């Protein structure tokens, strides 16, 4: 079970990273704002991979200790942590050296951009879970 959970984490992390990169490109082209100096492609993929692998390890641990209610507890915790993680882009302050004309508009585009990225790992992890882990 641990191998399947780990494989789920790796696969969903890579796919979520790919989805984030594609979303960043589309967002850049449609909104004419480039946030790659703030968060690079490698950081996007790395964060998704780390989050999904951590989720898979957490899922395995919870299911090991609470086989009856583990699924419900894990789903609740993973969703709660995903929603909680959007506090960081809301509270993010751009460096003072970026005091350029239009910084207010750039920051107002950054929050929805980053908030959307935070949901990709959970969304793809939940979508792929039935393929890798069958009850």
* Per-residue confidence in pLDDT tens, the chain, 135 aa: 888 989 999 999 999 999 999 999 998 888 877 777 778 889 999 999 999 999 999 999 999 999 889 889 999 999 999 998 888 878 877 766 666 666 677 777 888 888 888 899 999 999 999 998 877
Whole-model pTM?
Answer: 0.83
Domain with 89 in it: 2-132
Number of domains in the chain: 1
Report the b/e string of 24-47 with b at 16+ CB within 10 A.
beebeeeeeeebeebbeeeebbeb
Helices (H) and strands (E) in the chain, counts: 5, 0
| Distance, C-alpha 14 to centroid of its chain | 11
């Amino acid at each position: 079970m641990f191998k399947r959970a780990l494989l789920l984490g790796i696969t969903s992390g890579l796919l979520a990273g790919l989805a984030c990169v594609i979303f960043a490109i589309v967002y850049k082209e449609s909104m004419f704002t480039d946030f790659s100096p703030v968060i690079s492609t490698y950081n996007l993929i790395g964060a998704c991979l780390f989050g999904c692998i951590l989720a898979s390890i957490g899922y395995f641990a919870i299911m090991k200790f609470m086989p009856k209610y583990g699924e419900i507890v894990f789903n609740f915790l993973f969703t709660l942590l995903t929603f909680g993680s959007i506090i960081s882009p809301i509270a993010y302050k751009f460096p003072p050296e970026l005091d350029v004309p239009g910084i207010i508009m750039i920051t107002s585009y950054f929050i929805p951009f980053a908030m959307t990225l935070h949901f990709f790992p959970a969304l793809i992890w939940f979508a792929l879970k039935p393929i890798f882990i069958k009850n």
